[in-house]
């Protein structure tokens, strides 16, 4: 009986170790050339191209609170995550109510808001909302990229603001700018990854 119990324990332990190795290998693979772009675990959602696109926007460096240009990726539970269309103001030129889009997510006791970089029409924001609900439905995690805007909002020390760049689930990717999820288009537009990658990380 003791031998059977020991065998079962070893079998379960080996399976856990194998799974952990696969997770580590995946993270190592996607972070090999862009080691600072992903903050935390990606839950198998991202590929290396996603991290490369961020380097087309701005050169990467280790994350700190002065990192205000590079769009870092981080991933969140989809539970309670949602899109808001707030602070509406009518614009006579656009002939529309202009709003700030906010993708609101939660992790480790902190609220993260990914904001549109300017006011957008209410109907456009509602289209983002519909896409969000469609792409996150049935998925436990969503990964989102953006540059840090403000670590603390006033007296609220548990909130962090980012400038929305793109988000991705295992369904698809959505970006603020056209073709923001397509590395090949970025390269054709003149992105030079060799130039954007710090030499000591080559």
In the prediction, which pLDDT does 179 show? 82
DSSP H helical ranges for the chain: 2-31, 48-57, 122-136, 183-188, 193-196
> In whole angstroms, what is the distance from residue 62 CA to residue 83 CA?
28
> In this structure, what token pair is assigned to residue 46?
């991202």
Residues contacting 109, CB < 8 A, separation 6+:
158
- Token digits for 20? 């952990």
Asked if pLDDT for residue 60 goes beyond 60, the answer is yes
pLDDT at 198: 54
**Position 21 pLDDT exceeds 60:** no
Q: How many residues are listed for the chain in this entry?
A: 202
CA–CA separation, 174 and 178 (whole Å): 9
Res. 7: pLDDT tops 50:
no
pLDDT for the residue 3:
44
Of residues 150 and 16, which shows the higher confidence score?
150
DSSP secondary structure code for residue 34 in this structure: -
pLDDT category at 20 given cuts 50, 70, 90 is very low
176 — pLDDT class (breaks 50, 70, 90): very high
Distance CA 126, CA 46 (A): 26
* φ, ψ at 82 (rounded to 5°): -160, 170
Residue 150: both structure tokens together:
């403000």
80 or 199: whose pLDDT is higher? 80
pLDDT at 73 over 80: yes
Tell me the mean pLDDT in the region 160-187: 93
Distance of alpha carbon 125 from the chain centroid: 19
């Amino acid at each position: 009986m003791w031998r059977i119990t020991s065998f079962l324990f070893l079998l379960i332990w080996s399976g856990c170790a194998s799974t952990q190795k696969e997770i580590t290998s995946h993270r190592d693979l996607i972070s090999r050339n862009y080691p600072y772009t992903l903050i935390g675990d990606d839950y198998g959602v991202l590929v290396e191209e996603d991290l490369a696109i961020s380097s087309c926007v701005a050169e990467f460096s280790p994350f700190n609170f002065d990192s205000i240009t590079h769009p870092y990726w981080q991933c969140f539970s989809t539970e309670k995550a949602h899109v808001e269309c707030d602070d509406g103001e009518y614009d006579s030129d656009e002939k529309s109510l202009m709003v700030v889009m906010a993708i609101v997510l939660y992790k480790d006791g902190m609220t993260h808001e990914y904001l549109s970089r300017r006011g957008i029409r209410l109907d456009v924001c509602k289209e983002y909302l519909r896409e969000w609900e469609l792409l996150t439905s049935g998925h436990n995690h969503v990964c989102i990229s953006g540059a840090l805007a403000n670590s603390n909002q006033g007296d609220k020390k548990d909130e962090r603001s980012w400038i929305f760049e793109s988000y991705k689930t295992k369904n698809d990717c959505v970006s603020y700018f056209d073709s923001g999820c397509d590395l090949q288009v970025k390269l054709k537009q003149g992105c030079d990854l060799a130039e954007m990658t710090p030499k000591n990380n080559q």
